[in-house]
């Protein structure tokens, strides 16, 4: 049994990660601002009032964990806001950078002391963070923030390799969740998370820093 720490665990992909990992017998610590009834119904440790954009909040989480060692840190918390060229909102773009890129990096740095030897870090990014794969444009804030997250993940994979910590950058697929407006063309969270867990299970120091689709495809930068 391994200990998993999951951010953004209240709903959607995060909630499904908690569900599947707890069902297979892992020790799961779910973090969020407020716990949903669905999350509360799962037999896991829940840490509420966790705002990943607040350094004080993350430090408080670290203090709550005390000497708990985390084997797998899954950075799932994120936001998506619309920004087109004709309707740019600089404050929205900055906010997405803060939530999607800067905060996950700072979270890792704060929690390093709680990571076990040979720990794993999974950053839930997006295919929209691929420069080479961008053929439709738009979504400036979201795309730019996810490119930044991918770069942070790649640098973390280099910097943490000597410590025995492997890093995966993961695209969950187009998933039917509240973030995507429950799109009918998306896959269900159960399918996405099943793939994400497989990618995390297969993560090693040999393939650290790889950008994967949940289905196993290696994505271009």
Could you report the average pLDDT of every consecutive run of 10 residues in the chain (221 residues)?
97 96 97 96 96 97 96 97 93 97 98 96 96 93 97 98 98 79 75 97 98 96 94
Report how many domains make up the chain.
Answer: 1
The enclosing domain of 84 has a CATH number of: 3.40.50.720
- Taking only the tens place, the pLDDT of each residue in 81-124 is 989 999 999 999 999 999 999 999 999 999 999 999 999 999 99
pLDDT at residue 102, as a whole number: 98
In a domain, 102, yes or no: yes
The answer to whether residue 221 is domain-embedded is no
pLDDT at 187: 84
Does 159 fall in a domain? yes
CA–CA distance, 96 with 116 (Å, rounded to integer): 30
Helical pair 90-97 and 140-160, crossing angle rounded to 10 deg: 20
Query: Would you put residue 201 in left (φ > 0), alpha (ψ -120 to 50) or beta?
Result: alpha
Residue 144 contacts by C-beta under 8 Å, 6 or more apart in sequence?
A: 93, 96, 97
Q: Directed axis angle between helix 103-111 and helix 55-65, to 10°? A: 30
pLDDT value for 138: 92
**Residue 56 pLDDT:** 97
Domain range enclosing 9: 3-213
Quick one: how far is CA 150 from the chain centroid?
11
In a domain, 152, yes or no: yes
- Domain annotation covers residue 114: yes
pLDDT for res 78: 95
Q: What are phi and psi of 127, to 5 degrees?
A: -60, -25
Residue 41 lies in a domain: yes
Domain assignment present for residue 104? The answer is: yes
**Do the domain assignments include residue 219?**
no
């Amino acid at each position: 049994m391994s200990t998993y720490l999951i951010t953004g665990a209240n709903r959607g992909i995060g909630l499904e990660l908690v569900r599947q990992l707890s069902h297979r017998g892992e020790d799961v610590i779910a973090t969020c601002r407020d716990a949903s009834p669905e999350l509360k119904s799962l037999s896991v440790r829940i840490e509420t009032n966790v705002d990943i954009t607040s350094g004080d909040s993350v430090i408080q989480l670290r203090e709550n964990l005390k000497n708990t060692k985390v084997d797998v840190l899954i950075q799932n918390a994120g936001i998506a806001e619309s920004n087109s060229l004709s309707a740019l909102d600089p404050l929205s773009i900055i906010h997405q950078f803060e939530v999607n890129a800067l905060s996950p990096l700072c979270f890792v740095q704060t929690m390093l002391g709680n990571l076990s030897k040979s720990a794993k870090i999974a950053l839930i990014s997006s295919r929209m963070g691929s420069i080479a794969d961008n053929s439709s444009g738009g979504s400036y804030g979201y795309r730019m923030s996810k490119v930044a997250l991918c770069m942070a993940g790649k640098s973390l994979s280099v910097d943490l390799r000597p410590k025995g910590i492997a890093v995966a950058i993961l695209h969950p697929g187009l998933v039917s969740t509240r973030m995507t407006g429950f799109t009918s063309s998306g896959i269900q969270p159960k399918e996405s998370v099943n793939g994400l867990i497989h990618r995390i299970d297969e993560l090693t120091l040999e393939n650290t820093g790889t950008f994967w689709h949940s289905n196993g495809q290696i994505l271009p930068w």
